[in-house]
Structure 1
Amino acid sequence: MKIIQLEYFIAVVKYNNFTQAAKFLHISQPSLTATIKKIESNLGYDLFTRTTKDIKITEKGIQFYNYAVQLVQEYHQTMEKMHDLKMSESPKIKLSILESTNQWVSQVIAVHRKKYADQTYLISETHNQNDILEHLLNFEEHIVLSNEKITHEAIQSTPLYDESYVLLAPHNTFTRQNITIDDLPLILPKKGSQVRQHLDDYFKRVSLHPNIILEVDRFEAATNFVHKGLGYAIIPRFYYQSFNTNQLDVVKFKPNLGRTIYLNYLKKRKHSTRVLSLISVFLNYWDINVKNDE
């Protein structure tokens, strides 16, 4: 069975009509009908039930559709990656970073590009620890930053630096440098992120029932709400370097809460010279000397 046959089938499901699907695919309706019948013959079961008025996808057709969509997506993603290799002798370096690290990561990449001016990068954000591990093991990322150590025999997980969490507030809201956050209206990350897990563990440890008024996906959104006077955000201290925090103050809160940022990569992967160079730039930026246990 060919990818194009799967694409024909997906189009029929999308439009629920052979005529419209054929028009979208720029083929004749008889040709499309023949292709679907051939697929059904190969599979040994019907994908659609047909009447003179309409068509309906069968239960087995639904299951086949889910697999077909996945296969077509993977095919096109693979072709895109192969196209990247053809266009450049230096494939993109793929990094997953944390939102709070944007400022200093940009400086690291700037240093790396001085040596490799033609290098391109693909940067994303992944905040779930399980997703981070999966992306590394499946060769989807070269380098990943996390705020927890990844304890897996295949992963090199190196601590870069420690930072505290702080309270983000409008200018001159608090006269003291250290405060408690009991009863303050708080703006926190949504559940599921590493930062939210840190905060929830902290609240439980100090027996605090936080007054959470807003939950957001990103620190940028939390910062915007602080600007509007809707509450106070708890952020990693390095995010305060962001231009989004202009006209805002950071205040320490008691008891203290902190985290460690880790650099992670797959040890068994044959990394290119450029990727290894970028890893070195990351480590040198934080003055880290590491003997890899590869």
Structure 2
Amino acid sequence: MDLRKMYYFNATVKYRSFSRAAKALHISQPSLSNAIKALEQEMDTPLIERTTKQFQLTEMGQQFWERSKGLVAQFEVMQTELKELAKGEQLEIRLGVIESANYWLSQVITDYQKLYPSNQLTLIDTLYNQTVRQALLGLHVHGVITNQHIVDEEIQSELLYNEPYVVLIKKDHPFAQKEQLTLKDFTQEPLIIGMPEFETSAQILKAFEQENVTPHISYKIERFEMIKVLVEEGLGIAILPQNYVTQHLSDSLLTRPVHSAYLNRNVYLSTMKGRTFSKSILVLFELIKKRH
């Protein structure tokens, strides 16, 4: 069976449209239609319904798609790996990175560039569990530094470190005089957090729930950097990962630890299982792991 036809069929199912699939494949729609018809002739059965206006697979088409998509995915991985190996050490390495890892990762990159100056590093924000999974399995990134422990048969996650959360306040805030803070201290304070769908915010909110404390949330912000700006303006306080706020902190701000068994998080390096990486990519992963 022609793998190209199988690849075309899977693209058509993915986009649920001959025209959109043809555009994505950079071929003409008639060429795609002819390839699918030839595949159906090989299979001696129709795979796509042509009697309805909506895109729909036949029963055999559904079965063929379920079995063929794994083969196509393996082919894409192999193709990507061989292209990267052929390039030697002149690669674009793509990493998904949580915001709190930026400072220590920049030090890793400095060391790495001394070893592989010809390689280009591209850093991509990763915020959602499904985004991380899709980025890895879709071969959009080589690895992801994330605080999400992804349990998936196709993804492996190696623990890098565990870090506590700290409260970020202005230096003249009453909390600055306290030796120890607990989550109960936050009930009357305007709290600035990230978006609830982000893992960091979800962990913080869960900690309050586990201690049966209701926080006074005043702002929900997408970026950590903007949270720091609002705290500096005196609009509230924030709970952030320690690694993010211990470096490059404004003179008007300080941090305090919070006593809570629930306010800490693990950070992982996640990669696709079974994927073959070039030596230079493996060296980068080792530098990341040795950093902690």
Match for 1:158: what amino acid? Answer: E
The equivalent of 2:283 in structure 1 is: 277
Q: Which residue of 2 aligns with 1:100?
A: 100
Aligned residues of 1:183 and 1:210 also touching (Cα < 8 A): yes
Deviation at 1:242, TM superposition (A): 3.6
Q: In structure 2, do the counterparts of structure 1 residues 246 and 265 end up closer, same or farther at CA, with 3 Å as the change threshold?
A: farther
Aligned equivalent of 1:266: 272
User: 1:246/1:267 Cα in 2 relative to 1: closer, same or farther (>3 Å)?
Assistant: farther
Aligned 8 A contact 1:171 1:247 in 2:
yes
Matches within 5 A, 1:80-229: 90-173=90-173, 174-179=176-181, 180-229=185-234
Deviation at 1:245, TM superposition (A): 4.1
Instruction: Report deviation, 1:6.
Output: 5.6
C-alpha distance in 1, partners of 2:266/2:251? 25
For 1:157 and 1:87, how far apart are their aligned partners in 2? Answer: 27
CA RMSD in angstroms comes to 3.1
User: Could you give the per-residue CA deviations for residues 2-36 of structure 1, whole angstroms, max 9, x where no partner exists?
Assistant: 99x969xxxxxxxxxxxxxxxxxxxxxxxxxxx9x
Residue 249 of structure 1 aligns to a residue whose secondary structure is strand
Letter of the structure 1 residue corresponding to residue 231 of structure 2? V
Paired with 2:206 and 2:275, the residues of 1 have a C-alpha distance of: 34
Q: Which amino acid aligns with 1:227?
A: E
**C-alpha contact (below 8 Å) 1:93/1:120 kept by paired residues:** yes
Q: Which runs of 5+ in 1 are unaligned?
A: 8-34, 43-59, 62-80, 287-294
Q: Structure 1 pair 274/6, CA: closer, same or farther in 2 (3 Å)?
A: closer
Aligned residue type for 2:155:
I
Query: C-alpha distance in 2, partners of 1:131/1:195?
Result: 15
Q: Cα distance 1:87–1:150, how it changes in 2: closer, same or farther (>3 A)?
A: closer
Report how far residue 88 of structure 1 moved: 9.1
- SS of the residue corresponding to residue 183 of structure 1 reads coil
Q: Secondary structure at the match of 1:243?
A: coil
CA shift in 2, pair 1:261/1:87, >3 Å = closer
The match for 2:38 is none
Equivalent residues in 2 for 1:61-76, closer than 5 Å: none
Distance 1:233 1:245, change over 3 A: farther
Structure-1-length-normalised TM-score: 0.67
Identify if the C-alpha distance between structure 1 residues 128 and 114 changes in structure 2 by more than 3 Å, giving closer, same or farther: same
Structure 2, unaligned runs of 5 or more: 1-17, 34-52, 55-79
Q: Check the 8 A contact 1:220/1:244 in 2, yes or no.
A: no
Length, aligned pairs only: 220
Answer whether contact 1:181 1:253 (CA < 8 A) is retained.
no
Distance in 1, matches of 2:197 and 2:141, equals 21
The normalised TM-score by structure 2 is 0.67
